[in-house]
Structure 1
Amino acid sequence: MADSRRPGPTRPPIRLRPAPVADPPYVDEVPDLWPRPPGQLALDLFGTGQPPGRPAGRRPESRPRPGHPTAPPLPPPATATPEATRAAHRFVGTCLEILNGYRPPGQIRALVEPGRIVEVTEQLARAASRTPPARRRSTRPAVHLRRLRVCEPRTAAVEVAAVLTGGGRSWAMALRLEHRQGRWLCTTLQVL
């Protein structure tokens, strides 16, 4: 008698593999993982406030603790104001419309500082070379915004990091906006 059941699956089974480590090590893990060249100053990336070579531990008692009445005030956090965040979203959205072919590249001129127009348009052209060719009747955008981070290190200046995807590739765009004469203008744009 012949077997009347359907044949088994033609795809191989799914294998789960561990994700690669993407985060840098903690301060107390491996100190010499990233050796620095001789003569280079150490960056205090983790905010310990300790000079290099000094073990992190108790602070000396002569230094006042944050929040203590004699301590100097802490700097303001580097979060962006809502107005600055809207300006960053608006500028990156305009760049995406240019990359997807919905706007002509000349429309970015009103949003860029006059002395930096050539640099910014060259970087946009570099980003456009990474995008897939546009299909004629497609209404779906070819380039998408994956993530946008906005930081305001000082008043009237915003630094933005955007992750874009398109055509199976991902890349980043870093830019700086400054508030001048009532408008937010792009002073630097770099496609990474």
Structure 2
Amino acid sequence: MTSALLERRSLPAPTTVERARPRLRRMRYEPESGATSDPVRARTETGPVDDGRVDVDPEAIRRALHGPLRLAMEVLDGRRPPAHLRRHFAPCAMRYWQVAAGQRRFRAPARLLRVLLCLPRTGAAEVSAVCEIDGRVRALAARFEQPGAGGPWRCTAVRLG
């Protein structure tokens, strides 16, 4: 090997740049003098708490919501007209879905891969779905509400990620 490759060169010393010192602000951790606060008391109830939920079958709700979601995928593809969704979608969700369908070029049929369900309260269901659109795996989030007991589910919000 040549001596030029083995020669050690010293690197220049790093320059010191003065950084702005952080400004610290004093915080009050103690209450002001004369202020009284009641201590937090533990809950003493021992019985079951009524949170307003009625026993429902999540699997039945999932089956009921799978149809409108599949229908939405067909509208997204252009295989069905958007009018087919009017019964299942609120106007604001309908507008969002029509814009999403208009921005897409159909390459391959969209399909639902997995549907997950959360029931935050009676008459409301939040759905997160994994779907394949144009060969890409995408997320779909939707909120469905049921105005009356046993009535039809209606999508009030939908987002495609």
TM-score (norm 2): 0.58
C-alpha spacing 1:146/1:79, structure 2 compared with 1 (3 Å): farther
Considering fraction of residues, name the structure with more helix. 2
Q: Distance in 2 between matches of 1:95 and 1:72?
A: 44
Q: Distance in 2 between matches of 1:153 and 1:169?
A: 30
Residue of structure 2 in register with 1:99 after alignment: 76
Write out aligned runs for 1:3-42 (5 A): none
Q: 1:183 aligns with which of 127, 134, 152?
A: 152
Q: Distance in 2 between matches of 1:165 and 1:150?
A: 18
Write out aligned runs for 1:44-83 (5 A): 71-73=46-48, 81-83=58-60
C-alpha spacing 1:166/1:131, structure 2 compared with 1 (3 Å): farther
Structure 2 alignment gaps of length 5 or more: 1-41
- How far apart are 1:81 and its partner, in Å? 2.4
Q: Distance in 1 between matches of 2:102 and 2:57?
A: 31
* Contact preservation (8 Å) 1:146, 1:164: yes
Q: Deviations over 1:48-85 (max 9, x none)?
A: xxxxxxxxxxxxxx889xxxxx7343767x98623321
- How far apart are 1:128 and its partner, in Å? 2.6
Residue of structure 1 in register with 2:97 after alignment: 124
Q: Distance in 1 between matches of 2:113 and 2:104?
A: 15
C-alpha spacing 1:159/1:153, structure 2 compared with 1 (3 Å): same
Identical columns (%): 30
C-alpha spacing 1:158/1:131, structure 2 compared with 1 (3 Å): same
Q: Distance in 1 between matches of 2:153 and 2:133?
A: 27
TM-score (norm 1): 0.50
Q: Say whether 1:164 aligns with 2:131.
A: yes
Structure 1 ranges of 4+ moved more than 4 A: 129-132
**What is the count of residue pairs matched by the alignment?**
115
Q: Deviations over 1:69-106 (max 9, x none)?
A: x7343767x98623321221111111011122221011
Structure 1 alignment gaps of length 5 or more: 1-61, 65-69, 135-140
Q: Distance in 2 between matches of 1:151 and 1:80?
A: 12
Secondary structure of the 1:110 match is: coil
Between structure 1 and structure 2, the one with the greater Rg is: 2
Task: Name the Cα RMSD after superposition.
Answer: 2.9
* Contact preservation (8 Å) 1:126, 1:191: no
Q: Distance in 1 between matches of 2:140 and 2:67?
A: 14
C-alpha spacing 1:187/1:110, structure 2 compared with 1 (3 Å): same
